[in-house]
Chain A
Amino acid sequence: MSPSVAYGTDIDERTKAAEQSSTDVLTAPDIPWNLVIWNDPVNLMSYVSYVFQSYFGYSESKAHKLMMEVHKKGRSIVAHGSKEQVEQHAVAMHGFGLWATVEKAASGNETPGKGGRQRG
């Protein structure tokens, strides 16, 4: 993702705050599909965080944490659910211009975000 020069310091400060204050307990998926967001050098960090907050209803700190995971690790599981649910999320993410894919949840130990708020 692309941090803006003008807001760079602010983002760094918020990262530290988010790391300190995040008390989210991440639960293992019980339904076997994941929504994955991939890093790209174009989407703004602020925009990705905004999309996670406005679409999934995630808190600012959770959205920020997932966004930083995308940025640093190259990808992050931001929601999970049935195949239909994560596909619906993927369509919405493509609408926002985020690079999203869906995949069957592996039994590995990657920590997913808690399930996204379902959209009607």
Chain B
Amino acid sequence: MAKAFKYGLKGISGYLEPAERDLLRGLLDDVISMLESDARENEDPLAALIGLDMDVKQPSDRALLRLLPNVMKDDDGGSLEFRQLTERSVRENKIGALRAAALGLDKNELVLTPEDATRWSMALNDVRLVLAERLDIRDEADAEHIHSMQDWSQAEDVESYLALVYNFTTWLQESLVQAMLAARQAKS
């Protein structure tokens, strides 16, 4: 069984079994490929160099739209213009955090620097956002319903399995954030 992240003399540390590391690596890789999938072949190399993406569109996939939301509530034109300027770098930052977390999964004992911890929390959060869209979590009641599923013997179909995976990542992230908050307090 995984152990909750904690803050101590070594910094922030955690422990994951090989099967849990495989599971997390799979989830991280899934989100990485979602974020990479739209890479275009025929794009203007100069635009790419300075981070512009004039062909970008609002994502049609809801999970991807949750990772890359519109920046204005009621202004699709303004949001699209903003996407052209910024979406590439948001994607790249997210992919960077997800890759760093995946690379850190090479042993059972995890010891995280403050920078590692930040990347891990971002990566786990993105994984949870994607799982939540797949599980159709729309409001707090949905979230509570999913949260009530804690028993792995309940894993009868894809949805219940996903729910249990979601709860595992939630638990892991909560313990990580508590450790990060404890590290912050220790410093101040």
Chain A residues near B (Cβ < 8 Å): 2, 4-7, 36, 40-44, 46-47, 49-50, 53-54, 87, 90-91, 94-97, 99-103
Contact = CB atoms under 8 A, between A and B. Distances in A.
Contact of B90 (A4, A40, A94): A94
Contacts, number: 86
B interface bracket (residues with beta carbon within 8 Å of A): 35 or more
Contacts of A47: 121, 125, 173, 177
Given A50-B121, A50-B177, A95-B90, A42 B68 contact: no
B142 A41 contact: yes
B174 A7 contact: yes
Interface of B: 66-73, 82, 86, 89-90, 93-94, 118, 121-122, 125-126, 128-129, 132, 137-140, 142-143, 147, 170-171, 173-174, 177-178, 180-181, 184
A6 B174 CA distance: 9
8 contacts: A2-B147, A4-B170, A40-B66, A46-B178, A47-B121, A53-B184, A95-B93, A97-B125
Contact of A50 (B66, B140, B180): B180
Contacts of A46: 174, 177-178, 181
